[in-house]
Amino acid sequence: MQEQSSRAALVLSEDYLEHKPGHTHPEHPNRLVSIHRMIDSCFKEVFPVITPALATLEQLELVHTPTYIKKVMKTAEQPSTSLAPDTPASSRTYHCAWLAVGGCIKALDCLLSGEFDSCFALVRPPGHHAQRDRAGGFCVFNNLAV
């Protein structure tokens, strides 16, 4: 029996580094910077890199309320604010969170189309703790639920 090789891909974007919750916050861009460096030095030729696209408003509204989405959009007007006690936001958080949802959707599309056998979305801010109408646990939009 012949072994089949599996094709794996990575979804990532430098834009995810623009979400800056503050130097002392655990969900810091340097976490992803380190991963990017490792990929560039060890895995650049191994895993294709897939560029994410922004999620659509309709996709976000599958999980989040319009009022909450507007609240997150308003963070783009402020250099520093907070969406929850543990979820700070900067002026680029809205864009990054929107792109994180799009990145997860892109990874799923790659799997469902059969283009890849596995796909890892290196997104931030994370999303799995976000609720329908509020942020939490460093998470803005629940990219997994969408």
Q: pTM of the prediction?
A: 0.88
Q: Where are the domains of the chain?
A: 8-121
Cα–Cα distances in Å, from 37 out to 33, 68, 129?
6, 35, 27
User: What is the predicted pLDDT for the residue at 118?
Assistant: 95
Q: Which residues are catalytic?
A: 129
What is the chain's pLDDT, residue by residue, as a tens digit (146 residues)?
A: 444 456 999 999 999 888 777 777 767 777 878 888 888 888 878 899 999 999 999 999 999 999 999 999 999 888 888 888 988 888 998 999 999 999 999 999 999 999 999 999 999 888 889 999 999 888 899 998 98
CA angle 7–29–78, rounded 5-degree value:
125
Read off the tokens for 36.
Answer: 């990017």
Whose CA is closest to 27, among 74, 79, 90, 75?
A: 90
